[in-house]
Structure 1
Amino acid sequence: MQHRSARLLIVYYPAMDHLQSPLHISFAQKSDAGHKPENQDTVGARLPDGNLLTTKGIAIAIADGVSSSKAAREASQTAIAGFLNDYYATPDTWSTQQSAMRVIQALNSSLWGRSQNSIYGEGYLTTFSALILKGASAFIFHVGDTRVYRLRDQHLELLTRDHTQRIDKHTTHLSRAMGADPYLEVDMHSLELHAGDLFILTSDGIHEAMPPQELRQLAINQRNRLEVLVDQALQLALYHQSDDNLSIQAVSIENLGTAGQDDTLQVLSRLPFPPVLSPGQILDGLRIKKILHESTRSQVYLVEDDQKNLLAMKTPSELFLDDPAYIERFVMEAWIGARIHSPGVVRVMAAPESRSCLYYLTEYIPGPTLAQLLKERGILSIVDAVELIESLLRGIRAFHRKETLHQDLKPDNIVVGARGPVIVDFGSCWVASVQEAGAPIARDHILGTLDYSAPEYRYGATPGTASDQFSLAVLLYEMLTGKLPYGTGYSKAMDLKSFQRLAYIPAMKHNPLVPYWLDKALEKALSINPNHRYTALSEWLQDLKRPNPLWLTPRAQPLLERDPLKAWKVIAISGWICALVALLWRG
């Protein structure tokens, strides 16, 4: 059975236009039963356009049903059809690895379950290899003894390893297959693409029959005629007396998937910056009611549509007219916000008319920002502060479920409305799929506000979900004390040594009502080393709401920690006393 590529229905997101991938390939595939009565191999590919090409890439996959099973053909078809459908249905913010591995594990569980429940004792087992081409990278996911090769220049390299065990000279046993175990170990790796690369995926009916040198020479000779390549591969396998099903796919990289800088800037500059607006003005059918917030980076207005609905409009600052990195980040804000769904996150709204300039709309949430609330009320009660953090945790979890980091949690970006605290800004977000797609323009690496951002952003470690945890902990510390956990020196630190010289200031010092166990939960979440923080936000919340047994009783703090100067004085005096005693003893 042969499966040709299919076109996908594309949902259009204008905010992604500047990242449209120019990835271009040539592709051919062929599958044949060979000398067997039934073809138990399945091949398939999806070559999308538009935003899916940018966020998901091109997926090519091959599967070889385990012939000892009566359900081999159905297993391979299920694996290929399920993967090519479900991979593109995963959130477009997810990384390639997250999307592919979730789908592969789900398909494995389904096949394994069918094997266990089969009244005829059939095993739904298949090998599986997938190649995903995205931006300037290739991602390979592999189980079993199907193979992926790459021809670069004149060198043919095998990129996968066969999961087989040799029984004797003529017999091998498949040691890993989809559907064989409830949890599947998958080989996954990524590599950089070069224009001119040729990838070849084969079932064992091809590569077990053809000598490696013959496959290499065929690939070199026919690299520009892929239909001829796959046809001749089948003929040569039969010539070498292959007695198995025959399947092969060939894909040549014609153009890499990273947009050029000139094209990107042209797309980003399609919409002009709006002028500074005043109450009473009308823009695209929206009446400006008042200015909610303005800074050197943006303006936020309260606007009213023709149905009298109140909305918030965010516009870019004219100070950044010639800054492509700023413009890219601004146009991506609405795209990111539209993908995060939580009562704790502001909703992005559609514009009532076509936009004449650059801005985006969100729901309007009446209420003070957390910064205004703290200024008016001072420190909050422990109950109120923990309740606010619990609500914010739910909002941040919505970001993390979409493989998105907020990266700029601070009091000014949180509005305390009727439904609780709401995160209202997406200007510094990191999105896994967008990061993978790359960009032809330089992006800012240090984002957010220094007092609230995690230290790893500045000393070069890899940020992660623990980075947002750190920022939330700073917010809680400030709500309880009105201070910052490392004092004024924190915002000045820019390297690891500077951060290591800082000492956590117990919240109890500023607010005696903070219990010891709560202070320790804060200290852990505020660790300079992200590996020392909580592994999950739920664990931190549990320690905030009820005492961790490890921290019920305050331990005596060593003198060196409580008063370093006094401790060193004691050590010095003790040293002199010991020296004096030694002299007297000798005398």
Structure 2
Amino acid sequence: MPPDRPAPPPGRLALRAGLCSERGARAHNEDYAAAWLGEPGRKGAIAALADGVGGARGGRVAAELAVRGLIDGVLGQSEALGPRRTAGRAIEALNRWIHAKGQTDPALAGMACTLTAVVLRGRRVHVLHVGDSRLYRFRDGRLARLTTDHAQRGANLLTRAIGAVESVRVDYAEEAALPHDRLLLCSDGVHGGLSDAAIAAELARRGAPEDTARRLVEAALATAVGDNATALVLDLLDLPVPDRADLEAAIEARPILPPPKRGAMLDGYALEEMLADSRYSRVFRGRDTLSAEGRAVVLKFPKPGAAAEASFRQAHLRESWIAARIRSPFLGEMLEPPPERQSCLYAVLPDYGGETLERRILRGPPPSLTAGIGIATGLCKAVAALHRAGVIHRDIKPDNVILPPGGGLRLIDPGIARLPRLEDSAPADIPGTPSHMAPELLAGTSQGDERSDLYALGVTLYRLFCGGYPYGEVEAFSRPRFGAPASLLTRRPDLPAWLDEVLARAVAADPAERFGDAVELLFALERGMAGGAPARPRPRSLHDRDPLLFWRMVSAALAMLLLLSWARLHGG
């Protein structure tokens, strides 16, 4: 994605469906399938497939009634009941009606059908299944069957079917959904003629859903299976963002175990190099052995202990919330493994390679104006993306900026970010790095807002260009005095005066004197590079430039006036 192109907005259920059904060698097609892909104001989607038994007419009637009745039955009930209850009620009613009709109508005698359905709600797939039709999921190059056949092995005889008996037992399962999952519902005319490997190979081609469904049906019929063949393919293009309750439930459900050691294999992740081992967490560089390309990742494990566990869970919640809602090429991502894959709580992040901005500053030499402004504009865009979503990072510093080897940058580690509508810590407990914290944060009068983030951004850019701090390095628990920032030009006389003025405003001690937002700071940098900024900075008073000297001179002047007054009184 080009750096300046806005990322698509996340958070909407987006699906594509494709269906193909052929009678094959049979005189009639007793299969029936349909999908409801949602509408404004209603959540989720439904897809179902049924394979009729009991004669041409009765089988087709049962299949169509089951699919249509299930979709209408789920949509006709309150969403508050949940998919399992709404679909279960609908299937119970349909089973009784189809069974009774098959007992009383000679033309439909013995009619019954299989039924396999998926209800998509939020980021979950709810599976309901009776019979020997199947549901497959294709994810990350791997095919998984999500249903079990209700049929006697080696014989074409169902052990469960809709309408076969007065009461039916329905298999129910709930699975996590991920963007780019492919779901396949198919009758036995498809899976009976094709191996799992053949099905996986066709799904892996990633053709349009309707083309994939057609090719699967054609391939199955070519094997002379002698049955109707139906395939319904669903592509999950995007999913709703998880809400806070979903995130908290998922995080609390995972235990915190002692962190592994280098060389371990956990949940398919090979831990190859330890990057950090602090009091509260351990960080590894590793490789995802279950991904097709063996993706390089970074894994962060909490260490057991009340304080560490609470801190890590809160940080994990914040990072997950941000990753689900904000997409920007200038922000770090958080990978989302399937919940069933993770045996314990840890964070999985992409390994961007490269180095941190802190390491780049320490390595030297300082960047040229053009290179530095390139980094500065990327950081401004990262902060602007957070602020548009109401997120205050609160720990912007060079250590939290990754410079990948291919260019660009990533602002990472929003684990102490302030999120909208999420309770926050008390002002006395505001975290951060002292030298990058705005005066109002150090004084405890603010919990962090856009302008305190801009201050930290300004300090980061100041360090980028000269390696120092505008007010000197601030020690923890100290109460520094903020006068005027040291001029950038004293350390880098080769830089233009307009940049000194821009950074001085960004790190102003008074929040009201800073830029209004990150976009305004970005425009000031771009205007300066375009030659629109004044060649010389706005003159500053002696009070702003050196307040200590100013007050010494004022004190000396007052002392002189007092001496003159005393001399006049006693000399007359």
TM-score between both structures, scaled by the size of structure 2? 0.51
The one-character-per-residue Cα deviations of 1:322-369 (angstroms, maximum 9, x if unpaired) are: 653542333442232232211111222222662100012121101011
Q: 1-side partners of 2:255 and 2:270: how far apart?
A: 19
Equivalent residue number for residue 328 of structure 2: 342
What is aligned with 1:305?
288
Partner of 2:368: 381
2:264 corresponds to 1:277 = no
Counterpart of 2:398?
Answer: 411
Q: 1:322 & 1:539 partners in 2: Cα distance?
A: 38
Match of 2:437 among 450, 453, 458: 453
1:329 to 2:315 alignment? yes
Cα deviation digits, residues 240-283 of structure 1 (max 9, x gap):
xxxxxxxxxxxxxxxxxx99xxxx99975532224333332110
Q: How does 1:8-407 map to 2 (within 5 A)?
A: 8-9=43-44, 269-306=252-289, 307=292, 308-320=294-306, 323-351=309-337, 354-407=341-394
Cα distance in structure 2, aligned partners of 1:444 and 1:326: 20
Deviations 1:518-564 (A, max 9, x none): 22211211122322211132222232344475673552643784333
CA distance in 2, matches of 1:533, 1:267: 40
Partner of 1:243: none
Contact 1:414 1:424 in 2 (8 A): yes
Aligned partner (choices 436, 447, 467) of residue 482 of structure 1: 467
Q: Output the CA distance in 1 between the equivalents of 2:536 and 2:544.
A: 23
Instruction: Name the structure 2 match of 1:558.
Output: 542
In structure 2, distance between residues paired with 1:403 and 1:335 = 12
Q: Which amino acid aligns with 1:450?
A: P
**Could you tell me whether the CA contact under 8 Å between 1:294 and 1:300 is conserved in 2?**
yes
Cα distance in structure 2, aligned partners of 1:454 and 1:559:
21
* Cα 1:7–1:542 shift into 2, 3 Å: closer
Pick the aligned partner of 1:530 from 511, 516, 519.
511
Return the letter of the residue paired with 2:287.
E
Q: Distance in 1 between the 2:544 and 2:431 partners?
A: 36
| Pair 1:47–1:525, CA change in 2 (3 A) | farther
State the Cα distance separating 1:320 from its structure 2 match: 4.6
SS in 1 for 2:355: coil
Distance change (3 Å), C-alpha of 1:322 and 1:511 = closer
SS, match of residue 374 in structure 1? helix
CA shift for structure 1 position 508: 2.3
CA contact 2:391–2:420 (8 Å) conserved in 1: yes
> Is 1:428 aligned to residue 413 of structure 2?
no
Please list the CA deviations of residues 83-113 of structure 1 after superposition, one character each: whole Å capped at 9, or x if unmatched: xxxxxx9xxxxxxxxxxxxxxxxxxxxxxxx
Deviation of the 1:303 alpha carbon: 1.5
* 8 Å CA contact retained: 2:434, 2:474: no
Instruction: Give the residue type in structure 2 aligned to 1:421.
Output: L
CA–CA separation in structure 2 for the residues paired with 1:561 and 1:49: 67
Secondary structure at 1:430 match in 2 = coil
Residue type at the aligned position of 1:525: A
Is residue 2:558 matched to residue 1:575? no
Alpha-carbon distance, 1:389 to partner: 1.2
How far apart, CA to CA, are the structure 2 residues paired with 1:372 and 1:490? Answer: 20
Partners of 1:471 and 1:323 lie apart in 2 by: 28
Question: Which range is displaced more, 361-370 or 338-347?
Answer: 338-347
Question: How far has the Cα of 1:411 moved from its partner?
Answer: 1.4
Question: Take 1:557 and 1:508, find their aligned partners in 2: how far apart are those partners?
Answer: 17
Q: CA deviation at 1:442?
A: 8.1
**Percent of matched pairs sharing the same residue:** 24
Q: Is the 8 A contact 1:415 1:422 kept in 2?
A: yes
- Equivalent position SS for 1:289: strand
Q: Give the equivalent residue in structure 1 for 2:133.
A: none
Q: Measured at CA, do residues 375 and 489 of structure 1 come closer, stay the same or move farther in structure 2, by a change above 3 Å? A: closer
Task: State the SS of the aligned residue for 1:292.
Answer: strand
Q: Displacement, 1:378?
A: 4.5
CA distance in 2, matches of 1:266, 1:546: 47
Amino acid at match of 2:415: G
Distance change in 2, residues 1:551/1:377 (3 Å): same
Superposed, which structure 2 residues align to 1:513-552 within 5 Å?
513-547=494-528, 552=536
Q: Are the structure 2 counterparts of residues 426 and 556 from structure 1 closer, same or farther at C-alpha, using a change threshold of 3 Å? A: closer
Cα pair 1:311 1:364 within 8 Å, conserved: yes
Q: Deviations over 1:440-470 (max 9, x none)?
A: x989840221211223333223532222211
Measured on the aligned residues, the alpha-carbon RMSD in Å equals 3.9
Counterpart contact for 2:280–2:308, Cα < 8 Å: no
Question: Structure 1 stretch 393-402 or stretch 292-301: which is displaced more?
Answer: 292-301
TM-score, structure 1 normalization: 0.50
Equivalent residues of 2:505, 2:513 under 8 A apart: yes
Distance between the aligned counterparts of 1:515 and 1:476, measured in 2? Answer: 15
Query: 1:312–1:363: 8 Å Cα contact kept in structure 2?
Result: yes
Counterpart in the other structure of 1:506 = 487
- 1:534 maps to amino acid: F
Gapped runs of 5+ residues in structure 1? 1-5, 11-45, 51-88, 90-257
